[in-house]
Structure 1
C-alpha cells in the first residue's frame, strides 16, 4: 500500500508523547553475563544517569500461526537504561535489543543521530552480525482541552475511518453511541506498506487525572520483522528514514483539517 504524501510540518502544539526506535538481534550472552561498562563509558557524556530493570520474557514455541506461549518457561533479562540529565532521552540496552526513547520529540534531525550513535556503539563493542526486527513507533495523544477544542466532537477532528460508527455525531439522531457515553474504545489494524508493516492502534482513552474528559490516542508502529538481515548501519539508517517519512503521512491522514490547523503547523524542509 502506498501512502499519500503531505508537506512536512512541525506542530507547535505537538501531540507526540513518545517516540521509540528499536533494533532487535540474536541474544548476546556477553550483555547478560557482564556489566556493559564500556557501553556506559562511551555514552556517559550525553547519558550520565543509569537505571537497571529486570524483565521477564515470554518464550514462544513453534512458528507461524500455530506458535504458542510457554508460560511455564519464563526467562529473566536485564535492561540497562542510560538516561540524559533532562530525562527526555533514554537509550536502553539488553541482550536482545537496543532502543532509543524520546518523550519530548521535536524533529527527526535530532532523533536519528542519537539512534545511530547507539547503534554504532553497540556494533563496535559486541559481536552482533544480524538484526531480526527493526521498528520505529510514534505515539500521539490528542487532548482537545489543550488546543482550544473542548466542545468539538471527534468526528469533526479525526478521519472517518478511525471512528467508524462507534461515536455518534451529537447533531444526528441515530443508533450510534453518544460520544459522552464512550468510556474507552481501542482498535488495532495492521497494514502492509511498500517498504514495511504498519501496526496502527488507536482509540479513545480516559484518565483519572482528566476527570470526565477524554483524549484520542494514535499509536503508529512501523517495522520490519521475522528476518535475519546483516547489521549494516547504512541500511538500518535508510530503513529508519523511510519509517519516519511514513509516520508523518499516517498521522496527517488520520486527522482532519480543523485539527491540523489547531495544532499550529509550521513548515519545515524535507
Structure 2
C-alpha cells in the first residue's frame, strides 16, 4: 500500500540519513546584499558557527519566441550558513529560502524545536510576505547489515509499490543492477510528495574514500506544500507535511522491517 494508518512509532534504529526543511519566500534582496547580523545574534547561542559563501546563480534566458533570445548571467547568490557547536545542525539563509538540515535526526519534536526560534526570528526581522513553498524531505537509507537482516530480500521488507519487479518468481535479486521507483503523488489540495525508492550503493564520502560494498535501500521522500502560505501558518504546514510523511513511510515498510528497527 502507498499509505498506512499504522500508529506513529519511534524507531530506535531509525534509517533517516538526512532530514531537510526548506521554506521558500519571494526574493528579499537585502539578505543578499547585507550580512544578517541581527539574525545571527538572535540564533547565535544555538548556531555559533558562521560561514558565508557565494554561489553561482543559473542564467536567465530572455526574448524566447523572438528573433534574438539572449542568455543573461545573473549575480551570485549569497548563502549564509550557521552551524551548531557540534556540527549536527545546519541552518542556511539566502535571498529566496531558509532551511534547516541534520545528518543526525533525533525525531520530529526535537527537529521542530530546533527550527522554532530561527524561523520566528527570520519572520520578525525580514517580514516575508508569505512562503511560496514549504518543504520537508526525508532521505532514509536502510542497511540490512545494521538491522540484522542480512538474509532478507528487499521484497520481504518493503511494500509491493516499491519492489514490484523484485517480487517476480524468475527474478534473482542479486542479478538486478537497477530497480528504482519514482512517483509524484498529490496528497491533498495543496500538498504533494516526490518519492524515490530502490536499492543501490552509496557514493563514497570523499575522493579517496573506499566504495561501500553493501547494497542499501534508499527511500527518499520530498514533501511540499505549494501556494502562498501565511507566515503564521508555517508551523502548521510543516506538521501537515510530517503527518503525510508518516503515513507514506509506514505504508512502505513491512512488519518484519518494523520489528528490526526496534520500535518503542
Partner of 1:9, secondary structure, is coil
Q: Is the 8 A contact 1:183 1:206 kept in 2?
A: no
Within 5 Å, which residues of 2 pair with 1:93-104?
Answer: 93-104=93-104
Partner of 1:152, secondary structure, is coil
Which deviates more from structure 2 when the two are superposed, residues 134-143 or residues 110-119? Answer: 110-119
Partner of 1:12, secondary structure, is coil
Partner of 1:203, secondary structure, is strand
1:182 aligns with 2:176: yes
The structure whose residues are more often strand, as a share, is 1
Change (3 A) 1:110 1:60: farther
Change (3 A) 1:81 1:198: same
Aligned-residue offset at 1:26: 0.9
Change (3 A) 1:74 1:201: farther
TM-score by length of 1: 0.85
- Number of the residue aligned with 1:242: 240
- Summarize deviations over 1:80-104 as a string: whole Å, max 9, x none: 1111111111111111000011221
- Number of the residue aligned with 1:50: 50
Q: Is the 8 A contact 1:134 1:223 kept in 2?
A: yes
Partner of 2:180, secondary structure, is strand
Q: Is the 8 A contact 1:205 1:215 kept in 2?
A: yes
1:261 aligns with 2:259: yes
Unaligned runs of 5+ in 1: 63-69
- Number of the residue aligned with 1:33: 33
Q: Is the 8 A contact 1:22 1:98 kept in 2?
A: yes
Partner of 1:86, secondary structure, is coil
1:193 aligns with 2:187: yes
Within 5 Å, which residues of 2 pair with 1:117-196?
Answer: 117-165=117-165, 167=166, 172=169, 174=170, 176=171, 178-194=172-188, 196=191
Length, aligned pairs only: 249
TM-score by length of 2: 0.86
Instruction: State the superposition RMSD in angstroms.
Output: 2.2
Aligned-residue offset at 1:35: 0.8
User: Structure 1: how far apart are the matches of 2:255 and 2:91?
Assistant: 35
1:202 aligns with 2:203: no
User: Structure 1: how far apart are the matches of 2:229 and 2:16?
Assistant: 30
Partner of 2:248, secondary structure, is helix
User: Structure 2: how far apart are the matches of 1:72 and 1:189?
Assistant: 34
